[in-house]
Amino acid sequence: MDSYDVKNIVLYMLENELALDNSLPSNLTIVNSLNDSIAVFPRIVFQELSMSTKSRTLNYTDYTKTLLFQVDILAKEPAADSMCRRIAKAVNTALEKTIHLEQREGGNIVPVDTVSKRYTLTYAGTFNEETGTFQG
């Protein structure tokens, strides 16, 4: 399974978990790039930072991959800080408890411009192709 497939699995699972959370805004959008032309707020930008092979079988088939993802949450004023934190809590719950990725860094809210703010988090974990599971 290649990097694109694993990212899509994580993204699909994240979208499903967030859709079940009624405390989040109904217009929350998930995109793949900070430079994406969709300027909807609030939004989550989900990017793969790296993926590397951790283990191989005797015939050199990769079976575990180390994953690193960045999640940027962007919200507009008023109340951009609280919106970013509320979405971050839901993302954290989905990625850590459901998908078993661990938060590595993040938690700072940074002004993007005069009306929007960004909250950045990074997550890491392992995907086992033999079992089809994520491991923290």
Q: What is the pLDDT of residues 76-135, one digit of tens each?
A: 988 999 999 999 999 999 999 888 899 988 778 888 888 889 999 999 988 887 777 887
Domains and CATH numbers, the chain: 3-135 (3.30.2000)
- What is the tens place of the pLDDT at every residue in 62-92? 677 788 899 999 999 889 999 999 999 999 9
The span from the CA of 101 to the CA of 80, in Å, is 26
Q: Which helix (H) or strand (E) holds 80?
A: helix 80-92
User: Counting every residue, how long is the chain?
Assistant: 136
**Mean pLDDT value across residues 3-32:** 87
- CB contact burial 79-95 (16+ within 10 A = b; e otherwise): ebeebbebbbebbbebb
